[in-house]
Amino acid sequence: MALAVHLRKAEETAGTDEARAAIAACRAELGTCVDDLRELARGIYPPVLAARGLAAALKGRARSGAGDLRITVRSTVDGRRFGPAVELAAYFTALEALQNAAKHAPGATVTVSLDATETALELRIADDGPGFVTPASGGTGLLGMADRIGAAGGTFAIDSARGAIITALLPFTPE
């Protein structure tokens, strides 16, 4: 936490508004890094995900995140559990997509939507950023998301012509 103290002191003594704003952004990013590290230290399965499920975990993440992030949970999902493999794949795919949006479409509105049928969970992450041309390699973040969803038996699609829309369908066995 010494770094946070040093950044605060630098912000207070910076000579221009631009410098103060840059240092404030560094402090905010440091806070996010510390939060992420704490979450990682708690284990691979976030406690809120284990205790309350996917919808609650994503809503909690939205409250702690920066930017215009909206979580839409259809009544087919709210209060429902989908099994650890499905929930982990959906949760970490959503987090990766949110990181990508923050990096490649700063200031964009991002919506994470959850819906379900009797046998499949649909995760949709959309932003209103500039869109992109999908690299031939898929990009490491996109490949990681596709691999994560595939490992849980699901399908993964990207539409990036206008903004970015990631759709994952994850089959599950009804309880």
Question: May I ask the CATH architecture of the domain 53-171?
Answer: 2-Layer Sandwich (3.30)
Ranges of residues in the chain whose predicted pLDDT is under 70: 1-3, 35-44, 65-66, 134-139, 175
Which pairs from 25-31 meet CB under 8 Å and 24+ separation?
28/66, 30/3, 30/4, 31/4
How distant is the alpha carbon of residue 56 from its chain centre?
Answer: 13
What are the domain boundaries of the chain?
Answer: 1-41, 53-171
Q: 141: exposed, middle or buried (C-beta count within 10 Å: 0-12, 13-18, 19+)?
A: middle
Within 8 A by CB and 6+ apart from 122, the residues are: 113, 114, 115, 116, 167, 168, 169, 170
Rounded to two decimals, what is the model's pTM? 0.72
Gap between the Cα atoms of 54 and 58, Å rounded: 6
pLDDT for the residue 38: 62
- 160: which 2 tokens? 């990036």
Is 45 within 8 Å of 84 (Cβ atoms)?
Answer: yes
Contacts of 7 (CB under 8 A, 6+ apart): 23, 26, 27, 30
Q: What is the pLDDT of residue 132?
A: 77
